[in-house]
Chain A
Amino acid sequence: MLKIDKSNYDALRAHGEETYPHECCGVLLGRAEGDERIVTSIVRAGNTRTDSPQNRYHIDPRELIRIQRQGRERGEDIVGFYHSHPDHPARWSATDLAEAHWLGCSYVITGVDHGQAKITNSFALLGDDELQKQFVDEQIEVSAAQAGELAETQARS
């Protein structure tokens, strides 16, 4: 299961609308608790596939190192990635699976139809190694607000 608050959920979907008709991509930071991945922040990344951005994405490893370093300073870990499929379903493709190597992480895909974010799905990349890896559908639990925001709201009321 992937747990994410509405603010971050809306933000990753909005990213796909902004980059349409190109694929967007980004990193999910947070922590893993057993089979659950809890997202506490998302970070947009650049798509280096400028040769084919409408149907491919790639994140520069240097950018990922920077994101990882910043996350580490906040006590956050990489728990997954997100990207969009312009005018295509929010389902993983053969390319998505072939290029997925972060076993144990969540891969979130948003279908963006004519510039509008439609369905967002999440898939856990499971398996012991490259030969056995597979995407497994996982539920996305979207919470109303982050704990900090909720506490602030409650304090004000």
Chain B
Amino acid sequence: MKIHIPTPLRQYADKKDTIEVEAGTVAEALSGLTAKHPDLRRHLYTDEGKLRAFVNLYLNDEDIRYLQKENTKVQQTDTLSIVPSIAGGWSH
């Protein structure tokens, strides 16, 4: 399956915007990704090993939070998009 890498993380993935991995679940896909590119790990996960809150994962067009989260099964034709949040505002 393909994993789309967002602009800010490509420097840790040999400047690639898409990485191919073999996986049966989202967790396996991320594990495969960080095995190939270990520098990505600290940007995706906290020190406690949890996915950072601002990292959104979409399996095709579905947020995995509303599926089975990292246990969501994947097909080889699926696409996983890593999308850091975009938000802000003048409010302090």
Contacts and interface: CB of A to CB of B under 8 A. Distances in A.
From DSSP, what is the main secondary structure of chain B's interface residues?
A: mixed
B89 A83 contact: yes
Contacts of A151: none
Interface residues of A, number: 41
A101 B8 contact: yes
Contact of A49 (B52, B81, B89): B89
Given A101-B8, A105-B7, A129-B43, A62 B89 contact: no
B35 interface: no
Interface of B: 4, 6-8, 11, 17, 42-43, 52, 54, 56, 58, 61, 63, 81, 83-92
B58 A25 contact: no
B89 A57 contact: yes
Contacts, number: 98
Contact of B87 (A68, A89, A99, A103): A99
A34 interface: no
Interface of A: 23, 25, 32, 49, 52, 55-59, 61-62, 64-65, 68, 72, 77-79, 81, 83, 85-86, 88-89, 92-97, 99-105, 107, 129-130
A10 B58 CA distance: 33
Contacts of A99: 54, 85-89
A93 to B, nearest CB: 5
Given A23-B89, A59-B87, A68-B4, 6 more contacts: A61-B81, A77-B17, A96-B90, A99-B85, A102-B8, A102-B86
